Structure 1
Amino acid sequence: MKLFFLISFSLLILGCGSYPKKQGFKLDTTSQRTLVNPYFSNNEIDYVYKAKIEVYDRQFGGLLIIKKINGLEHRVAFTTEMGNKLFDFSFSQNDFKVNYIVDDFDKGLLIKILKQDFKTLITESLSNEMFYKNNFQNVHETTLYNKKHFYFFDIGKLVKINRVKGTKEKVSFIFSDISDSIAKQIEIIHYNIQLKITLKSIK
Structure 2
Amino acid sequence: MRYLLISLCFICIGCASYPKKNNFVKKEASGIEVRNLYFSDKTQDYVYKANIDVYKKHFGGIFIVKKIEDHHHRIVFTTEMGNKIFDFSFINESFTVNYILEDFNKKILINILKKDFKALIEETPTLLNTFSHQNDIVFETEINNDKHYYYNKNNTIHKIVRTGNRKEKVVFTFSEISDTIANLITIEHKNLKLKINLKSIQK
Q: TM-score range by the shorter chain?
A: over 0.9
Distance 2:8 2:144 in 1: 28
Q: 3-state DSSP class of the match of 2:116?
A: helix
Q: 3-state DSSP class of the match of 2:102?
A: coil
Q: Tell me the TM-score normalised to structure 2 length.
A: 0.92
List aligned pairs for 1:99-138, cutoff 5 A.
99-138=98-137
Q: CA 1:177–1:14 in 2, change beyond 3 Å: closer, same or farther?
A: closer
Query: Per-residue displacement from partner, 1:66-124 (whole Å, max 9, x unpaired)?
Result: 00001120000000001000000000111000001110111110100000000000000
Task: State the partner residue of 2:4.
Answer: none
Structure 2, unmatched stretches of 5+, are: 1-6
Q: 3-state DSSP class of the match of 1:41?
A: coil
- Offset at 1:16? 1.6
Q: 3-state DSSP class of the match of 1:116?
A: helix
Q: Tell me the TM-score normalised to structure 1 length.
A: 0.92
- Offset at 1:15? 5.1
Q: CA 1:155–1:103 in 2, change beyond 3 Å: closer, same or farther?
A: same
State the identity %. 49
Q: CA 1:19–1:91 in 2, change beyond 3 Å: closer, same or farther?
A: same
Q: 3-state DSSP class of the match of 1:120?
A: helix
User: 2:54 is matched by which residue type in structure 1?
Assistant: V
- Offset at 1:128? 1.1
Task: State the partner residue of 2:60.
Answer: 61
After the TM superposition, which of the residue ranges 25-34 and 188-197 deviates more from structure 2? Answer: 25-34
Task: State the partner residue of 2:3.
Answer: none
- Offset at 1:167? 2.6
List aligned pairs for 1:1-203, cutoff 5 A.
12=11, 16-203=15-202
- Offset at 1:17? 1.3
Distance 1:176 1:10 in 2: 37
Q: 3-state DSSP class of the match of 1:50?
A: strand
Q: 3-state DSSP class of the match of 1:63?
A: strand
| Contact 2:13-2:21 within 8 A present in 1 as well | no
